[in-house]
Amino acid sequence: MQLPPNSFKAALRAGRVQIGLWLGLADAYASELFALLIPMVESAEQAASVVAATRYPPAGIRGVGSALARAARWNQVSDYLRGCEQELCVLVQVESTAGLNNLAAIAATAGVDGVFFGPADLAASMGLLGKSADARVQDAIAQGIETVRSATKAAGVLSADPSVARQYLAAGARFVAVGIDTTLLVRAARDLRALFKDA
């Protein structure tokens, strides 16, 4: 069995925009469906530690338990241990002013494929709790996107506001979460209930 290609990583390398959702449901299947990223990275050293955790020795510190790894198809992928690194996609999340201050170094870290900006936590870190739509937050993210792109890495962000999401796409973001799974589920349930409210 051959290692399946990472279509998300390939799309980022090719500069193709990827649209997705923010994951809130505490469910392993939902996690696998939507994929994940590493939160609250504030320095190049932290970013390097994240990368090391995804690599087998001697390049990293990942435990060599591929017989139990779903990605290895439980030891059925030929030469998985040596070939998996090329399909790994490591995304770190910057969501604080400290992270922004170190963004160029974080983005330049070898093995980091992209940087995702968390507007809500970034706003709070900037003293703007609950104001992720504030122009200062949006400007900081737009500048951050440019910094990440300058490092030839992919930039991503979350915005459930379609107009703001489009602004980030226009600024060069290449993976954008345009909704939140829990919010979508609640909204769908509310809309369904409304259909039968008069029944």
According to the model, what pLDDT value does residue 199 have?
Answer: 63
Neighbours of 185 (CB within 10 A): 12
Sheet containing 114-117: give its strands across: 18-22, 175-180, 154-158, 114-117, 91-94
According to the model, what pLDDT value does residue 122 have?
Answer: 98
Sketch the domain layout of the chain as residue ranges.
14-42+89-195
In the predicted model, what is the mean pLDDT of residues 9-31? 81
Mean pLDDT of the chain: 91
pLDDT digits (tens, 9 = 90+) for 26-70: 776 566 555 688 899 999 999 999 999 999 999 999 888 777 777
- For residues 20 and 96, the model is more confident at 96
- Cβ-contact 73, 1 below 8 angstroms: yes
Given phi > 0 = left and psi -120 to 50 = alpha, else beta, which region is 161?
beta
pTM of the model: 0.84
Neighbours of 94 (CB within 10 A): 30
Taking domain 14-42+89-195, whether its CATH number is 3.10.129.10 is answered by: no
